[in-house]
């Protein structure tokens, strides 16, 4: 019988550090010392160093110090580049999905399930809830990306999505739960219409607003480019 593969310590450390970055617990510019983190996770430094190397590959940390990695700071230019790539991928996924009849009832049902889970968390502004909301936001957009039917593009999108979410160092007090819900509801309504022009317009508007919000809160940011 084939043995069931178990996550390695490096993978577990990778997922734990990634979660802390995506939820803002490890904010941009935070130094990560492998020895200290290994002690906190009760593991040896080696898998932590392997995890940090993977996170550097994903563009979430930078290994620019001798003894520590640093949670990446995104410049205004970085944010524009990341959102340009993300928008191209998601809008292309919608066009491909509609053309290939992948935007079916089962797809809409999956999207409705994610949306309803997100809506149920409104009015519960805690860090644990925020972590779940961010995860559901990622599920929402990854499901849209799945319309492409292209595993390579979905892999690129996943890395880009992690980067955009790591830029958002929101707290439960600053995250606009209602705006996120309303914009996702508009996207879901457009998806139900199967109208590719409507869907891409609403999705593009959502991504532009998300990008502009980030740019408005980055020190030294210029006016958003349209």
Nearest-Å Rg of the Cα atoms of the chain is 19
Burial class (CB in 10 A: 0-12, 13-18, 19+), 77: exposed
Domains 10-71 and 76-216 share a fold: no
pLDDT tens figures, 7-58 = 688 888 998 898 888 877 888 888 998 888 888 888 888 888 899 999 999 9
DSSP label of 219:
T
pLDDT band at residue 96 under the 50/70/90 scheme: very high
Backbone CA torsion sign across 55, 58, 60, 63: positive
Task: Write down the domain spans for the chain.
Answer: 10-71, 76-216
pLDDT tens figures, 80-93 = 999 999 999 999 99
pLDDT tens figures, 117-169 = 999 987 777 777 877 888 899 999 999 999 999 999 999 999 999 888 887 65
> Could you give the percent of the chain with pLDDT greater than 70?
88
Task: With beta carbons less than 8 A apart as the criterion, state whether 207 and 89 touch.
Answer: no
pLDDT of residue 223: 39
Give the Å distances, CA to CA, from 85 to 102, 154, 207.
Answer: 22, 12, 11
pLDDT at residue 219 above 70? no
For the whole model, what pTM was predicted?
0.81
The span from the CA of 184 to the CA of 145, in Å, is 14
- The chain-wide mean pLDDT, for the chain, equals 86
Name the CATH code of domain 76-216 (choices 1.10.599.10, 3.20.20.70, 1.20.120.530, 3.40.250.10): 1.20.120.530
Name the CATH code of domain 10-71 (choices 3.40.50.300, 3.30.230.10, 3.30.379.10, 1.10.10.10): 1.10.10.10
The span from the CA of 161 to the CA of 25, in Å, is 18
CA 26 to chain centroid, in Å, comes to 15
């Amino acid at each position: 019988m084939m043995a069931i593969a178990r996550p390695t310590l490096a993978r577990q450390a990778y997922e734990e550090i990634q979660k802390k970055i995506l939820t803002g617990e490890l904010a941009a510019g935070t130094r990560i010392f492998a020895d200290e983190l290994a002690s906190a996770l009760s593991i040896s430094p080696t898998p932590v160093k392997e995890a940090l190397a993977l996170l550097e590959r994903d563009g979430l940390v930078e290994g620019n110090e001798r003894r520590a990695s640093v949670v990446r700071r995104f410049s205004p230019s970085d944010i524009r580049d990341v959102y340009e790539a993300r928008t191209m991928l998601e809008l292309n996924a919608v066009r491909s999905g509609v053309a290939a009849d992948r935007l079916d009832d089962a797809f809409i049902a999956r999207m409705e399930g994610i949306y309803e889970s997100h809506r149920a968390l409104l009015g519960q502004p805690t860090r644990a809830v925020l972590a779940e909301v961010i995860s559901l936001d990622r599920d929402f957009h990854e499901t849209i990306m799945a319309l492409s039917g292209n595993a390579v593009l979905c892999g690129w999108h996943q890395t880009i999505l992690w980067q955009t979410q790591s830029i958002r160092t929101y707290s439960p007090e600053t995250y606009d739960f209602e705006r996120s819900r309303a914009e996702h509801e508009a996207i879901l309504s457009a998806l139900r219409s199967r109208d590719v022009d409507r869907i891409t317009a609403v999705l593009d508007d959502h991504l532009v607003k998300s990008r502009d919000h980030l740019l408005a809160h980055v020190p030294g940011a210029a006016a958003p480019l349209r």
